[in-house]
Amino acid sequence: MKTLLLFIFLLKSVLCVRGKSLEVSKNESVIVDPKTFRAIYSQNFDPIPSDITDDDEQSTTANIQKTVPDKQTIVNNSTLAYLRSFTSTKMIPAIYIIVILIGIPTNTLILRMLFSRTRTVCTAIFYTNLAVADLLFCLMLPFKAAYHLDGNNWIFGETMCRIVTICFYGNMYCSILLLMCISVSRYVAIVHPFIYRSLPKRTCAIFLCCFVWITVLMFMIPFFKKQQTYHLKELQLISCSDIYETSADAFQYYYFISLAVFGYLIPFTVIIFCYFSIIKTLATQDQKRLMYLKITILLLLIFALCFTPSNIILILHQVNYHYNYKDELYGSYLIALCFSSLNSCLDPFLYFLMSEITKLSKTYTEMNKVSNDTHMKLLAS
């Protein structure tokens, strides 16, 4: 009976909302509710009879323990509209498909080149880890694309949703930290060459890569512990990582702010400092300076397109919701998060540019060696 009353109440609410939307359209004025992707549960319990006897206490308690409450995820109409929208069901999966078609072959090619050719050991270790992270992400992305193409309906289970979510966020911050490590390595090699020569480069590179993977995995623990899938009865679908409970708001605020600061702002500042210092140091070497200028421009493009929008919007969204309880930026954040997947297609081009620099350095070294040998022969004669 209570279930029927709840259904009637929900139906009445939906009809009222539709009626109001029709009135708004007639008056030619549009009112958009803030997007909210936080959910609350409505749980229905049957009341315990007041005339229960002591003899029936144990059996009643057992029945209550066996009873599973009917959980219903409640979100507002703007959230439902987003989950039905063209952006969510067509544009986002189209971008994911492009990333899959480009990212898998290019990163596979990079790994093949790294294992088949002799390169600088330090650089090879960093780029191998970067290519592995991007390839793993691209292999998980078809599940995300299928989710959106199916109308934001997740059919692969809670555990798989958590794994895909971890790969999604983990790839972004793992890529940023590895790019920072590459930048620091190049900075020390060019700006402080004597210090670089004295360092155990292979050991340092392996240690830094292990540190990056462990740090990212530790930051991803909340995604694995928290529920990621929610059943939306209004749409008869299961969402994956688009909705979370309001009870987690306090933790979500500090967690995502720290994730954006330590996973984006600080590494990006270090990367900018390193490459501008490199360009300044190479003022007398035009060819090498030009190559590093290209790398800097490509890095700025990757951050401007992939990492900066999602992380800046994430900070603004968390602050706005934490202090003003407004959630209108979250839809924009999900779209920006989709564009962050493009880094898996752009990272291989960094390797190709760095390979050109390595060839240029070897050519320059061989020319100097030939010049020195010729000079020594002339002196001997």
DSSP string, 104-154: HHHHHHHHHHHHHS---HHHHHHHHHHHHHHHHHHHHHHHHHHHHHTTS--
Residue 262's pLDDT is 94
pLDDT at 292: 82
Yes or no: is domain 77-369 CATH 1.20.1070.10? Answer: yes
Quick one: CA torsion of 362, 364, 367, 371, rounded to 10 degrees?
-130
Contact 303, 268 (CB under 8 A): yes
Residue type, 95: I
Amino acid identity of 276? F
Residues of the chain falling short of pLDDT 70: 1-78, 117-120, 244-249, 357-381
**pLDDT computed for residue 251 by the predictor:** 79
pLDDT of residue 119: 57
Q: Would you state the pLDDT for residue 118?
A: 55
Amino acid (1-letter code) at residue 126:
F
Quote the tokens at residue 218: 């530790």
Domain ranges of the chain: 77-369
Say if CB 278 and CB 190 are below 8 A apart: yes
> What pLDDT score was predicted for residue 376?
56
Provide the pLDDT for residue 368.
46
Residue 24: predicted pLDDT: 35
Coil, strand or helix: which one is 220?
A: coil
Quick one: pLDDT at residue 102? 94
